[in-house]
Amino acid sequence: MEIVSVTELSKSNNGSINSFLGTSQDVISLPVPGRIKDYKVNAFIEANTKEVSLSNLKNDCIIPVFSKDNEKTLAHQEFIEIAQNCVGKVFSHHTIEAPEIRVSHQIKGRVPSAIHKSAKDLLDHERTQYFERMAFIIRVPSITETINGNKVALTIGGVRAYNQENLYNRKTYEKFKFFIGFQNMVCCNLCISTDGFQEEMRVGNYSELNTKILDLIQNYNAENHLLEMQELSEQSLTEKQFAQLIGRARLYNYLPKQDKSLIPELLLNDGQISTVAKDYYLDDSFCRNDDGNINLWNVYNLFTGANKSSYIDSFLSRNVNVFEFTNGLKNTLNGDSNYSWFLS
């Protein structure tokens, strides 16, 4: 099957497109909306985050600066709006939802006139805040596919973490994480591959960020990513193999450094592996079959579900890692992989 870029897939004729795995669907041309849709969905990340709106970021948060020259950072809301504009350009004939935004690590402050007040006496207008870490996603629900009975929708998003910037210095390049992939609408887990992810997007201004986001979106091979995910549903682990996998994954973090360097990386922590083991039995959508077997698509979703407990700044990297890891397990079952240690 031909691998098609997102740029080609975004083109439409008479209001319809060819979907990724061969069917067709109608699409509606809508502008990028300014408010969140009315229906409730599960959060794409949990951990210690809370949901905020774009207007909250614009109206209720101050903008951090680089302290030595007082140059402002690119604010969270600017990052989101740049991404919205890029998505609107590439997918101009598709439905585009308003961004879903999650934040954590609130940094509090106060205005100078309230310098002598105790914290409990501060009025709302005397308080200041910004959020050190922010993640967002933008869904394109008119571009979907079904994998193992699960509907997945094209999704774009990013992460900004001020803790990874040196705000006590002069302004230099700023760092952003950005991705394009899919979201499993059954559980709202994100499905991201290395092809659609940039771990560190270093930019100096608005224009550079806009250009790099457009480049990543336009060069993403959605067809290839979907085929790789589809193939996961065609391979299964037995109950014994899954138990071996969980045991090895628990051992992995305690291996001697030299031994660990010879084994492919697994970034999930011990608590997250325990969640995967629990959900093997209890998850409503991705648990084992009656015979104890579990296909790799379900294993992958157990991993991405457990990853929702990650902090914002490590969330995307771990998500990409578990996709590589699950593909490695698939290759092991086919007799060709250096991931065999996890199943041996």
Residues 223 and 239 in one domain: no
Q: Specify the residue for token string 């394009």.
A: 180
- Could you tell me the residue range of the domain that residue 183 belongs to? 6-229
- Asked if residue 243 lies in contact with residue 273, where contact means CB atoms within 8 angstroms, the answer is no
Total structural domains within the chain: 2
What per-residue confidence (pLDDT) applies to 111?
Answer: 85
Q: Specify the residue for token string 């391979």.
A: 235
Q: Domain boundary at 229, 263, 283, which?
A: 229
Residues 22 and 107 in one domain: yes
Answer left, alpha or beta for residue 292, where phi above 0 means left and psi between -120 and 50 means alpha: left
Residues 170 and 248 in one domain: no
User: pTM for the whole thing?
Assistant: 0.87
Q: Which amino acid is at 290?
A: D
Report yes or no on 1 lying in a domain: no
Residues 239 and 285 in one domain: yes
- Averaged pLDDT, groups of 10, the chain, 344 residues long: 51 42 39 43 91 95 90 95 97 96 93 85 87 97 96 98 91 95 96 97 96 97 97 97 97 94 95 98 96 98 98 97 97 90 93
What per-residue confidence (pLDDT) applies to 123?
Answer: 86
Rounded Cα distance, 41 and 22, in Å: 28
Rounded Cα distance, 153 and 156, in Å: 10
Residues 124 and 18 in one domain: yes
For residue 128, count other CB atoms closer than 10 A to its CB: 14
Residues 255 and 302 in one domain: yes
Residues 318 and 214 in one domain: no
H or E segment to which residue 55 belongs? helix 54-60
Rounded Cα distance, 114 and 133, in Å: 26
Residues 156 and 43 in one domain: yes
Residues 206 and 324 in one domain: no
